[in-house]
Amino acid sequence: MTTQTQLDLVTTLLKHERADASDDRAAAPRVLDKMCAQLVPIIGDAGIVAVFVRSAVTAKAQCTALHGLVVTIDSVDAVGAKVRDHFATVKDTEVAECAVALCAAFVSLMSRLIGSSLTTQLIQRAWPEVELKESP
């Protein structure tokens, strides 16, 4: 279950990435890429892929525009490519909702897996310029 704190955190991260991205569609993949880069040393590529696949299943229940997202279990890079490709097909009116659902599901699952304190530390390391208010 995603908490309001996690939703707020993801919304903040997506806003930050939208400022640097060419458009809203690029923000979610960038957030996921940055989180994955921090997590690889802790849970490895296979762990990240497993967490992401489970997160995608959870997010699909919340955002129907994600139903077409098919994630392969090949590698973290392949997962990132699938997310970027899928977001290119999402209607403009559904991009923000899908981005929040997908990224929040990922943060929620990571918090349960490695703990909220470590998740917060990793997110802060990925976004040192973003002030985090509370633990995810």
The model's pTM is 0.88
Q: Which residues have a Cβ under 8 Å from the Cβ of 34 and sit 6 or more positions away?
A: 126, 127
Q: What is the pLDDT of residues 12-53, one digit of tens each?
A: 998 888 876 567 788 888 888 899 899 889 999 888 888 988
Q: What is the pLDDT of residues 78-125, one digit of tens each?
A: 888 888 889 889 998 898 899 999 999 999 999 999 999 999 999 999
